[in-house]
Structure 1
Amino acid sequence: MSNYRLHASLGYNLSLAARLQERRLDDALKTLGLTRTTWCVLLAVGVENLRQPSDIAAFIGIDRTATSRALRYMEADGLLKRETGRKDRRTTRVTLTDTGLERIEQGVPFAIENNALMRAKLTEKEHEQLLALISKLTEGEDTDLSVF
C-alpha cells in the first residue's frame, strides 16, 4: 500500500485553490456572457495590447486552434474585430470593439473581488511569501501551457 495521500499533496492543494478561484470568476463572467478564455482574450488585447493571434495564444497559454475558435466566436458576438494584413494576407490584427472594452470594464470588478476574497485569508506577509513560493515552484519551468 502506498503512503501517498492525495489531500496532503502540494499539487492537489494548489489545484484545489486554483479551481475554487476559477469557479468563482467563471460564475461572475457568465453574467456578462463571457468564459474565462474570452475574458483572457479581452485582457490580452485590451490591456496588454496584443494584436496577433499567436501572441494572444502564448499570453493566455492555449493553443492556436483554441485561440482561433475563441476569436471567431468573440467576433460573432461583437466583442472584437479581426483584420487581415494589408501587406501580408496571412497575418491577422485583432482589435476590441466598444462592446469588448465595455466587457472589460464590467468584468474587472469581478476579478478584483475574486482576488480579494482569497487574499483576505492571508496576511500581507503570507501573501508575499505565497507569491515568492509559487514563483520558486515555477522558476526554470516552461510556462507555455498551450501544449496541454
Structure 2
Amino acid sequence: MNAQKKYRLHHSIGYHLSIAARMQERRLDDWMRPMGLTRTTWCILLAVANEDLTRPSEIADFVGIDRTATSRALRSMEEAGLVSRRSASTDRRMTEVSLSQKALDLVAQGTPMAVENNSLITEQLNDSESAELYRLLKKSLEGKERGLKQL
C-alpha cells in the first residue's frame, strides 16, 4: 500500500464488538431454541413482560428492529400461543399486545439463561470495568440514528 495507513482488522473496536456480539447471540440462540424462541421473540417477550410495552411500534423501537419484522414475529408468536393482539380500547386503529401464561412461563424459564449469557461476556471484567464498558457502549450508540437504519 502506498503512504496510506493499513487498516488492521484485529486492532478494530468494531471487529471485537462483532465477535463478542456474535458469541453472545449464538449462545443465546442455542439456549432459547429448545424453548421455541429466537433472540427476536425473546426480546419481544421482555419488552412486553418487563417493560410493559404493548404497542407494536413501541416494541419495535425497544428491540431495535423495524415494524415489519416486529409484525412478522408477533404473528408467529400469536400462532404459537405466546401473545394475543387486540384493538386498543382507546383507539381502535391501534393494536395492543399481551402475553399468555405460556409466554410468562418462558420469560421466567429464560431469564436465568439470559443473565448467565450476559455474565459470560463480562466475567473477565471487575465491576468497575463492566460498568465502564456498559457506559462506553451506550455512549457510542447514542448517535446510532445518524446514518444507520434499524436492524
Calculate the TM-score normalised by the size of structure 1: 0.91
Query: How far does the alpha carbon of each residue in 1:34-92 deviate from its partner, in whole angstroms, 9 at most, with x for none?
Result: 00000001000111000100000010011111000000000000001101234533211
Counterpart Cα distance in 2 of 1:138 and 1:38: 23
SS in structure 2 of the partner of residue 62 of structure 1: coil
Q: Is the contact made by 1:83 and 1:94 (CA closer than 8 Å) also made in structure 2?
A: yes
| Structure 2 segments unaligned to the other structure (5+ residues) | none
Q: CA deviation at 1:6?
A: 1.2
Using the alignment, how far apart are the partners of 1:63 and 1:93 within structure 2? 17
Letter in 2 for 1:101: L
Structure 2 counterpart of 1:20, from 9, 18, 23: 23
Residue of structure 1 equivalent to 2:12: 9
Q: Which moved more, 1:134-143 or 1:44-53?
A: 134-143
The alignment status of 1:126 with 2:140, answered yes or no, reads: no
Q: Are 1:41 and 2:44 an aligned pair?
A: yes
Q: CA deviation at 1:27?
A: 0.5
1:96 aligns with 2:99: yes
Runs of 4+ in structure 1 displaced over 2 angstroms?
85-89, 138-143, 145-148
Q: 1:82 aligns with which of 82, 85, 95?
A: 85
Percentage of pairs with the same residue: 54
Q: How far apart in 2 are the matches of 1:128 and 1:68?
A: 34
Match of 1:60 among 46, 60, 63: 63
Assess, with a 3 A threshold, how the Cα gap between structure 1 residues 40 and 92 changes in structure 2: closer, same or farther: same
Q: Which has the higher contact order (CA 8 A, sep 6+)?
A: 1
- In 2: Cα distance, 1:118 partner to 1:90 partner: 42
Q: Establish whether residue 71 from structure 1 lines up as the match of residue 74 from structure 2.
A: yes
Secondary structure at the aligned position of 1:135 is classed as: helix
Distance 2:75 2:55 in 1: 14
Residues paired across the two proteins, number? 147
Distance 1:8 1:49, change over 3 A: same
TM-score (norm 2): 0.89
Q: CA RMSD in A?
A: 1.8
1:5 offset after TM fit, Å? 1.2
DSSP-derived class of the 1:147 partner: coil
Secondary structure class of the residue paired with 1:112 = helix
